[in-house]
Amino acid sequence: MTRTTFSSPVHAQASSSPVHDEQQGLPSSHMLLEQVLTKSEAPLDAAVLTCLPPLQKEEALLLQTWHQGRPILTQIVTTQLGRVGTFLLPVEDTHGDEQWQQKMIELACKAVALAQACGARSVSLSVPLARQTRGGQMIREHQVSCAGRRPCLTTADATTSAAVLLNLEWILTRVGRELCRERLVVAVGPDDFASTFLRLLLATRPHPASLMLCTLPGQGTHGEHLEMELLVSGFRGNVVRNEMREGEMLPDGVYEEATLLLGTGDLLRGLDVQRLRAGTILLRLPSALSPEVSEPLSARIRAHQDILAPQGDELTSPAPMRELRVFASGSLLDLLIQTGEGGGLRNPYQVKSFLLAGLAVAKLDVLPTSGWVDTKTAQSYYFALRRAGFRGTAPDLGVHDSPSLYLTQFRARFRHCL
């Protein structure tokens, strides 16, 4: 087990050998859990349940030697709100058959019970787990016959929506731009995130000058319902609805008009980074981009320094955080975990919003969420995180290592030209 502390914006080198960990320490992957259960480590306040990314056959065989069919407590992050532990289920994020789904639910129930034994008052579900368990409802139904009180389950939807808005506010302030002048583009898919974020935005901040809703082929009804919902809510700008072309390509109007894009997965898959107009802000979700997007994005930033790509689902903490991890930094087991949604801290001040979801319920007096999130609940998360001192993060600049200088230059070039 490796204890990671931070004194600079990079991970400290792990003292143990990754090879030694993988060859000699596989059964010790349960050590952190045992230390919490035996109180040699402090208890948890909240927990996060995650699953594995899709694996190659060799990776799956390696993982089978250490998980022993049980959920693993892979890390504990200590924040100003409390301690949150990440429990990894030994199941891949895939759409399997009914037997696979039942196994996943049973493992999730075991993890919830372990989290409770570790002191957690609330348990949040990663996006894949929430999606495949109907927002945790299938886990709750499986627990009905279990005796005793269980920690409340929550999704990360409200926390992520609040984080995106906090990032949007922060970046616009830094570059001297006002939301009421921005032309916003959002991709509308079968999930509710775009709707949740837009309702939170319109209820909390000045409205953008215009809004373009890009719907996936065959998903036009989602765009129609959202457009009607926005108009009823009092949106005062222009609303344009376009359907993406076959192959999920974005319409030409995105590149001609947009100054601000909510980069969800549906939008990023159809995005041609080189066609973005100079001065565009791409508020991206998820923060981990595919090479098809990340490489052109980095190339554009290096060549022209004329776009911004802040991470919408990551927040800056007002106080440094600490991380305790099971596997040595850089080992294969660690890299597999970091590839999924169980990744830890990039530095002592930056944290993924999903790690705060359970802590928000346990410590900030907000309601747990499941499925559709109403505007009042989304606002309660936004104001709670803001009062706690969390704010947005500096944009991803690829090879550039001076966000402050980049933002200053960007502000000078693109503050008034849109």
Task: Give the pairing type, strands 322-325 and 350-352.
Answer: unpaired
Pairwise CA distance, residues 291 & 152, whole Å: 37
> Mean per-residue pLDDT for 278-306?
86
Please report which confidence band the pLDDT of residue 342 belongs to, taking 50, 70 and 90 as the band edges: low
The mean-pLDDT minimum among 23-37, 253-267, 287-301 falls in 23-37
**pLDDT at residue 380 above 80?**
yes
Nearest to 328 by CA among 9, 8, 17: 17
Burial class of 169 by CB neighbour count within 10 A (0 to 12, 13 to 18, 19+): middle
| Whether pLDDT at 349 is above 60 | yes
**Which is more confident, 103 or 66?**
103
Q: Please report the sign of the dihedral spanned by the C-alpha atoms of residue 391, residue 395, residue 401, residue 402.
A: negative
Query: Do the beta carbons of residue 211 and residue 233 sit within 8 Å?
Result: no
Residue 270 is predicted with a pLDDT of: 85
Kindly report the number of other CB atoms within 10 A of residue 39's CB atom: 10
- The average pLDDT across 320-335 equals 76
The two tokens of residue 413 are: 């070039």
Q: Tell me the average pLDDT across 111-125.
A: 95
pLDDT of residue 78: 97
pTM of the predicted protein model: 0.88
Quick one: average pLDDT of 122-127? 92
| pLDDT at residue 348 is higher than 70 | yes
- Amino acid 4 reads T
The predicted structure's pLDDT at residue 344: 66
CA–CA gap between residue 180 and residue 237 (Å, rounded): 9
> Residue 405's pLDDT band (boundaries 50, 70, 90)?
confident
**24-38, 199-213, 235-249: least confident range:** 24-38
- Backbone angle region of 135, left / alpha / beta, with phi > 0 → left and psi within -120 to 50 → alpha: left
Q: Is the dihedral of CA 217, 98, 74, 372 positive or negative?
A: positive
Tracing tokens 């294969």 back to the chain, one arrives at 332
Confidence of residue 10 (pLDDT cuts 50, 70, 90): very low
Alpha-carbon distance of 171 to 283, in angstroms, equals 9
Q: Of 86-100, 173-187, 344-358, which range is least confident?
A: 86-100
* pLDDT tens per residue across span 26-73: 345 678 999 999 999 999 999 999 887 777 777 767 666 666 678 889
The residue-averaged pLDDT of 192-216 equals 91
Band (17; pLDDT cuts 50, 70, 90): very low
Mean pLDDT of all residues in 385-390: 97
Q: What is the pLDDT of residue 9?
A: 31
**pLDDT: which is higher, 1 or 85:** 85
pLDDT of 217 higher than 80: no
> How many Å apart are CA 110 and CA 58, to the nearest integer?
26
Chain length of the chain: 418
